[in-house]
């Protein structure tokens, strides 16, 4: 039997962040991981050809680079190999009429591009950009505090001190607004609205879903202010650096170590039992960085849970699924709208708000969307080291899809299991991209298609291919994530804590929940 102060189940970036901070505070820590590599949804692999490195799921590391965890440990992580590649041209949307609109770190260029569509919108965008400096500290303060907590109350108090009730009203209205409601209040041009609203579908917010305005606002404003970053050599640069730092601090990282159960002693989580029979005792805390439905679906005795928590967890719903399509290319796509699009990290194909609402409605109704929303990532435009000289990889995320297929909105695909449907649906996706980047098919060397079922098989936390570990709609966010009354990481079982994307502040690569939990436990 091995004894530790804390045993952490799951070596995703939140679990590693918690482990590093606890080890820094003198705790003896072990992290156990089912897979042969750490990382969870942050992995980089040669999926198709040798020398071509693909980020399997997460690609954008801006949230990690700007996180409180990274700010504290930046020097140590850099010493263990962490490197970012900046993307001054962050994201763009392409439109059926052959035009595009993008955002980069050149505010004057952004304003000029918007002014070409609407001088009024250019002024409004400039005003929004100027006001971001006032809004940002309070928004980031709220996102960086446990929910609820004295720190979150203090953030609200500071906002009141800074701007009184008008600022509080503006902040609350932003947090509650749908993307369409927010964008309609500020802008007239539909292309500008579509460019910003596309970020809502990175979570699970179609344009008319309440609470969905924050992410499009923050992504647009922060990308202009700070740019975007990806990982040098792959997104797994953060995982390699975090793993190395954990080991350097005396932590233990056990890979290929699936958990059989978490045993209780006098009602307290005490021992993590591995499938190979090893037993790891936790003197202070067992921390779960796995989906709560997995944690309480077999690892922990169900009889240990209060009825209110069990009912809340049963009602906790996944967001829509996603598909990943990875391509190896002879060169970057030739975007018809402009050669300048080859320099962007992301190109969104989601040309209007009506289309975004339609694709969401089709997906949650169980239909394969006729025209899915697409996020086309071009990592080798920024980081040539991910492919052999002159060659490229393309990262395509399909938003949003049903976990279980009931039919096809286009009436073309008749099979209803993902194993049979995924290649045909990938053909549909690539046909859509080729409409905006003619000749793409002739550039493709190979492809790897990951359906929602494939993504869950690779990472069981992605239930139904949901990369968010649960919908972020208002009834599952803030105080309600994952269950009302349990948003402060402590489970109903003494000594058992939760972190990860299913807990506040939710999905993304910001290491927020792991770091917040570790600070609550050890300061």
- pLDDT tens for the 523 residues of the chain, in order: 599 999 999 999 999 999 999 999 999 999 999 999 999 999 999 999 999 999 999 999 999 999 999 999 999 999 999 999 999 999 999 999 999 999 999 999 999 999 999 999 999 999 999 999 999 999 999 999 999 999 999 999 999 999 999 999 999 999 999 999 999 999 999 999 999 999 999 999 999 999 999 999 999 999 999 999 999 999 999 999 999 999 999 999 999 999 999 999 999 999 999 999 999 999 999 999 999 999 999 999 877 899 999 999 999 999 999 999 999 999 999 999 999 999 999 999 999 999 999 999 999 999 999 999 999 999 999 999 999 999 999 999 999 999 999 999 999 999 999 999 999 999 999 999 999 999 999 999 999 999 999 999 999 999 999 999 999 999 999 999 999 999 999 999 999 999 999 999 999 999 999 999 999 999 9
Q: Structural domain of residue 32, as residue ranges?
A: 2-42+55-84+234-316+471-522
- The number of beta carbons lying within 10 Å of the beta carbon of residue 413 is 18
Whether residue 111 is found in the same domain as residue 209: yes
For residue 486, what are its two tokens? 């349990």
Residues 208 and 118 in one domain: yes
383 in a structural domain:
no
Mark which of 226, 245, 261 sits at the end of a domain. Answer: 226
Question: Based on the domain organization, do 213 and 116 belong to the same domain?
Answer: yes
Q: Is residue 126 part of a domain?
A: yes
Q: What are phi and psi of 272, to 5 degrees?
A: -95, 120
Q: Are residues 154 and 192 in the same domain?
A: yes
Q: Judge whether 516 lies within some domain.
A: yes
Element (H, E) at 69: helix 68-79
> Could you tell me if residue 195 is inside a domain?
yes
The whole-angstrom separation of Cα 502 and Cα 461 is 9
**Is 389 within the bounds of a domain?**
no
- Looking at the structure, do residues 281 and 241 belong to the same domain, yes or no? yes
Provide φ and ψ at 52, rounded to 5°. Answer: -105, 115
Complete DSSP assignment for 13-66: HHHHHHHHHHHHTT--EEEE-SSSSSBTT--EE--SSTT--EESS--B-HHHHT
With respect to residue 411, please indicate whether it lies within any of the assigned structural domains.
no
**What 3-state DSSP class applies to 84?**
strand
Q: Do 113 and 219 fall within a single domain?
A: yes
Does a structural domain hold residue 361?
no
> Do residue 139 and residue 204 come from a single domain?
yes
**Alpha-carbon torsion, ordered 465, 455, 345, 245, to 10 deg:** 110
* Residue 269's CATH number: 3.50.50.60
Q: What are the beta bridge partners of residue 87?
A: 228
Where is the domain boundary, 195, 226, 257?
A: 226
| The pair of three-digit structure tokens given for residue 15, joined into one six-digit string | 């679990």
477 is a domain residue? yes
In sequence order, the β-bridge partners of residue 54 are 45
Among 209, 226, 243, identify where a domain stops: 226
Q: What is the pTM of this model?
A: 0.97
Domain count, the chain: 2
214 plus 260 within the same structural domain? no
């Amino acid at each position: 039997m091995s004894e530790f102060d804390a045993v952490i189940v799951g070596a995703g970036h939140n679990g590693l962040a918690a482990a590093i901070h606890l080890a820094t505070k003198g705790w003896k820590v072990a992290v156990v991981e089912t897979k042969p590599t750490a990382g969870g949804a942050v992995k980089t692999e040669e999926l198709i050809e040798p020398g071509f490195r693909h980020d399997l799921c997460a690609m954008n590391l801006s949230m990690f680079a700007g996180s409180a965890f990274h700010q504290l440990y930046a020097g140590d992580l850099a010493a263990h190999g962490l490197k970012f590649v900046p993307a001054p041209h962050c994201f763009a949307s392409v439109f059926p009429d052959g035009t595009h609109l993008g955002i980069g770190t050149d505010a004057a260029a952004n304003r000029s591009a918007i002014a070409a569509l609407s001088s009024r919108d250019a002024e409004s965008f400039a005003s929004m950009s100027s006001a971001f400096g006032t809004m940002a500290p309070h928004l980031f303060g709220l996102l960086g505090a446990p929910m609820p907590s004295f720190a979150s109350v203090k953030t609200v108090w500071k906002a009141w001190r800074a701007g009184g009730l008008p600022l509080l009203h503006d902040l609350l209205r932003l947090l509650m607004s749908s993307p369409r409601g927010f964008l309609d209040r500020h802008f007239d041009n539909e292309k500008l609205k579509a460019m910003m609203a596309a970020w809502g579908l990175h979570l699970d917010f179609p344009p008319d879903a309440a609470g969905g305005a924050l992410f499009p606002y923050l992504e647009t404003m922060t990308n202009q202010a700070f740019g975007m970053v990806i990982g040098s050599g792959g997104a797994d640069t953060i995982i390699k650096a975090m793993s190395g730092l954990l080991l350097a601090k005396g932590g233990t990282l056990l890979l290929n170590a699936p958990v059989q159960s978490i045993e209780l002693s006098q009602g307290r989580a005490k021992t993590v039992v591995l499938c190979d029979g090893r037993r790891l005792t936790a003197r202070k805390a067992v921390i779960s960085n796995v989906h709560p439905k997995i944690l309480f679906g077999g690892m922990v005795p169900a009889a240990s849970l209060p009825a209110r928590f069990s009912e809340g967890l049963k009602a906790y719903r996944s967001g829509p699924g996603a598909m990943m399509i990875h391509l190896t290319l002879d060169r970057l796509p030739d975007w018809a709208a402009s050669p300048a699009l080859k320099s962007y990290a992301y190109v969104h194909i989601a040309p209007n708000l009506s289309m975004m609402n339609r694709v969401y409605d089709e997906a949650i109704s169980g239909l394969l969307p006729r025209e899915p929303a697409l996020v086309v990532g071009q990592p080798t435009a920024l980081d040539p080291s991910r492919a052999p000289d002159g060659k490229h990889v393309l990262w395509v995320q399909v938003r949003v899809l049903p976990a279980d297929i009931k039919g096809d909105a286009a009436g073309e695909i008749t099979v209803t299991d993902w194993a049979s449907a995924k290649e045909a649906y990938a053909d549909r996706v690539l046909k859509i991209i080729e409409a905006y980047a003619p000749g793409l098919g002739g550039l493709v060397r190979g492809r790897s298609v990951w359906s929602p079922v494939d993504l869950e098989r690779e990472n069981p936390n992605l239930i139904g291919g949901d990369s968010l570990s649960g919908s972020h709609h208002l009834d599952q966010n803030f105080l309600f994530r994952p269950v009302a009354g349990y948003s402060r990481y402590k489970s109903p079982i003494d000594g058992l804590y939760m972190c990860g994307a299913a807990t506040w502040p939710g999905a993304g690569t910001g290491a927020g929940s792991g770091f917040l939990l570790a600070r609550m436990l050890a300061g």
